[in-house]
């Protein structure tokens, strides 16, 4: 019985690590979506240049915002903002877009 208890405890400890390692969405599809839908206002290519709309941050800036996580980005994208058009992103497109934006994060 002790071995089972130890294995159960180990599984509980490892579960959050493996869940965090799962990447949702396809960054390539996210890039295609961003190019089609977001590039009118945002710099979406991940290069150090300016967005077409000076008030819109580049996707690289968004990815490198201190504390930015995929979860924070998902919440932000589901919240209406006065400076963004009011549109609904389908769940699969959102996962792909988030995956792409987070792929632009500069390694620390």
pLDDT digits (tens, 9 = 90+) for 20-58: 445 689 999 999 999 999 999 999 998 888 899 999 999
Q: What is the pLDDT of residue 85?
A: 80
68: Cβ contacts below 8 Å, ≥ 6 apart: 62, 102, 105
Residue 104 has pLDDT above 90, yes or no: yes
Domain coordinates in residue numbering, the chain: 24-103
Q: What angle (nearest 5°) sits at the alpha carbon of residue 55, between those of residues 31 and 37?
A: 30
- Looking at domain 24-103, does it have CATH number 3.40.50.150? no
What pTM was estimated for this model as a whole? 0.76
Q: What is the pLDDT of residue 23?
A: 65
Cα(62)–Cα(42) distance, rounded to whole angstroms? 10
Read off the pLDDT of each residue in 80-95 and give the average, rounded to a whole number.
86
Residue 63 has pLDDT above 80, yes or no: yes
Q: What is the pLDDT of residue 11?
A: 40
Q: How confident is the model at residue 14 (pLDDT cuts 50, 70, 90)?
A: very low
Q: What is the pLDDT of residue 34?
A: 96
Q: Could you tell me if 42 and 53 are in contact, meaning their C-beta atoms sit under 8 angstroms apart?
A: yes
Burial of 97 (0-12, 13-18, 19+ CB in 10 A): buried
């Amino acid at each position: 019985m002790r071995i089972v208890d130890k294995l159960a405890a180990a599984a509980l400890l490892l579960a959050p690590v493996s869940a965090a390692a799962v990447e949702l969405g396809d960054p390539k599809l996210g890039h295609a979506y961003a190019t089609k839908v977001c590039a009118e206002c945002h710099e979406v290519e991940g290069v150090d240049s300016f967005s077409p709309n000076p008030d819109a941050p580049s996707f690289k800036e968004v990815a490198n915002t201190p504390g930015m996580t995929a979860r924070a980005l998902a919440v932000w994208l589901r919240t209406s903002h006065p400076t963004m058009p009011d549109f609904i992103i389908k769940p699969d497109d959102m996962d792909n877009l988030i995956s792409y934006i987070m792929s632009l994060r500069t390694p620390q």
